[in-house]
Amino acid sequence: MNTRLRRCSLFSAGLLLLGVAVCAQAQVAGPDLVALKVSGADRSAVASATRVHRKAKAVSNADVGIVPAAGNESLSTAQAQALANFATLRSASPANAGSAPRYPGDLFNFGGATVTSAKSHNIYVNPDRGCPAPGCWGNPGRYLADLGNSDFIHVVDQYTGVGSDRRYTTGVSYTASYPAPAPAYTDDDILAIVHAAAARGGQSGYGHIYHVFLRPGVDECFDSSLSTCYSPDNFNTWYFCAYHSSADFADVGHVLYSVEPYQNVSGCWVAPGTPNGRLADSTNDTLSHEFFETVTDPDGDGWWQYLGSGMFGQEIGDECVFLAHLGDGSSAPSYYRAGGNPYATQPEYDNSAHGCTVKPGN
């Protein structure tokens, strides 16, 4: 796999370690973008962490000719447990199980947590002059701020039980210095980065969501088997464009995070001609997918579809992601305005409308 990282210039071989630190500090673009160093303690914390739920946004298989590895379509462990608990509850007392969805696509509430309000924290990994933060990924910070001040975000109200405005905002974001391991990052690396941010800011729990952005040319896999990956350079292992996850750490507690490798590639990108350009809107498209799913099903026991119909186990974004995929490995997104700015991303599933929408109730 390719790890084509461009590193910041170092002053001399003797200042290698210092140079990495200086590089990270140089990425501070304002008071809300802070340099982050991932320590050995952060890596050690991963060993005792427990992953609660992980759900991927699949690459467009039909467009790029990928056959996912066997078993990748199965429920997460958390979802399987939620389904088992639901079956037991329904058998013991059907009245306590809630009403079943009326339409095959409707999401069902398994009784777990949702995110009623949160701050998003972006983590840009190894930016430099050739890939500055946030420009190398578009402007995901602005998008998240605008999304939180939009009509679109209110699609989640029916799932969270809260309808107030401006519940989802942006907080401190980071540039992380973390040398890319060969041949690819794994989710353990991502957990170390997320732990560093959560520990530094003392911000964890359901009120904070971390979004990790990886550079172009960098692969990332679920684990060291390297069988389930974001790997545009290796179709045999390329399964996902991004994913969201949650984990419990012994020290900082429960952490919600998503992983967005570089999205401006065939199989993950949106069609050309979108209002913010293909780079930005491809990033925003996937980021919105992971954000909505984190809000409505952070731990696998929230809202998802269990009736089958080809969508078993799918979350709010999964059900709508392939509605408008084109033959060139891109998707034709929905257009809307958020925070006064135009965007083009996928819609999300709305139980009240029994379909996919970017406007609640439609």
Whether residue 124 is predicted with pLDDT greater than 90 in this model: the reply is: yes
- Residue 320, classed as helix, strand or coil, is helix
| Predicted local confidence at residue 96, as pLDDT | 46
| Predicted local confidence at residue 25, as pLDDT | 32
Express as a percent the part of the chain with pLDDT over 90. 68
| Predicted local confidence at residue 283, as pLDDT | 97
**17 band by pLDDT with thresholds 50, 70 and 90:** very low
Q: Averaged over 152-175, what is the pLDDT?
A: 97
Residue of 30 and 208 predicted with greater confidence: 208
Burial of 288 (0-12, 13-18, 19+ CB in 10 A): buried
| Predicted local confidence at residue 333, as pLDDT | 86
**Distances in Å between the alpha carbon of 177 and those of 121, 162, 193, 213, 223?**
16, 37, 9, 12, 21
Q: Averaged over 57-62, what is the pLDDT?
A: 74
Q: Averaged over 28-34, what is the pLDDT?
A: 59
For the chain, helix, strand, coil in percent to 5 are 30, 25, 45
- CA pair distance 257, 261, nearest whole angstrom: 13
* CA end-to-end span of the chain: 43
| Predicted local confidence at residue 3, as pLDDT | 39
Whether residue 18 is predicted with pLDDT greater than 50 in this model: the reply is: no
| Predicted local confidence at residue 201, as pLDDT | 95
Number of neighbours of residue 153 by Cβ within 10 angstroms: 22
Whether residue 13 is predicted with pLDDT greater than 60 in this model: the reply is: no
Domain ranges of the chain: 13-357
CA neighbor of 225 nearest in space, from 71, 42, 75 = 71
